[in-house]
Amino acid sequence: MVNGWARAAGLTLAALVLGLGPAPQASPYKPPSVMKTDCLGPMTFEDTFKSLDAGPDQIRPTKPRRWRTVYGYGGALAWDNRKGGRVAVAVDPSFAGVKAGVAGPASLGLNPFSTDPDTGALVVRAQQTPAEMAPLLWNKPYTTGLLTTKFSFSQRYGYFEINAKLPKGKGLWPAFWLLPDAGQWPAGGELDIFEQLGHENETMYFSVHSGAQKTVANKVTLAADASRDFHLYGAAWTPSEVVWYVDRKEVARTTTPADMDKPMHMIIDLAVGGGWGGDPDETTKFPADLKVLGVRVWALPGLDAKRAASCEVAPGQQGDQ
């Protein structure tokens, strides 16, 4: 299960490819019930977070950083640019805060990103806002972090996977998801590889949003508490199907919406508060951490139908470990 990813996390390369993934080819690939990554196409993205290449770029720079720490909505001084859930602001080390529409005079020194000393995982931390900084943080009671590859990597179709340990607590809302590079939501789709509400650590949500059809939301009961260990959460996105996996075993499957056919970028975030899961209460412990050992993406296999067929997995057969 996790052993393969633990080995992967020890690789010296933090990332294989910058920029867009390869141009997609028509593929007869039908995602199996047990994912075997050696039956996919080439790996197009890998980050095991030996270091974090990230920053708050508002427009695409000549040489993009691997991760962007803002959404880019509304401009640099807008809360929507850093919305970390209903009651939190997504910060980064350079953020100076905003008050009355004006940027603060200097960095607030808030960094939600660190390295877990025990596992080497990237830590995305949500914590209470220092009282003296609240006026510069839209008076939101919590800070958190988000990462997106909008400027550095997007891909049309493929298998997207994260190895993560999730936080526990009411009002916490970790997610790994895909959005198209352009267009108005929900046209073009949204693929939620996973979402979890922190007070339901044995339940996971896997969803597709689309302008072409109603939202498809799959609620799945897990075999274990997601806050107790690292697990693989993945989705195979093909022109015809979306299949979700936990530890590379299928947990849900649906038809790909007709409008979900453009390249999409990845987002990792730990939101705090919202109408769905509610806000933190007295039982929620802070700081709260989302830990990520790695993110990987593969292209779909190409036109070799025989190879794709040979990689179909029989019921009960194990996938990669």
Are β-strands 190-195 and 122-128 bridged in parallel, bridged antiparallel, or unpaired? unpaired
> Which residues carry out catalysis?
190, 195
β-strand partners of 128: 142
| Residue appearing with tokens 């720490």 | 69
Residue type at position 59? I
| Residue appearing with tokens 């009002």 | 171
Burial 126-145 (b: 16+ CB within 10 A, else e): bbebeeebeebbbebbbbbb
CA count, 13 A, side-chain hemisphere, 90: 29
- Spatial separation of the C-alpha atoms in residues 74 and 187, rounded to whole Å: 19
- Spatial separation of the C-alpha atoms in residues 78 and 198, rounded to whole Å: 27
- Spatial separation of the C-alpha atoms in residues 287 and 186, rounded to whole Å: 33
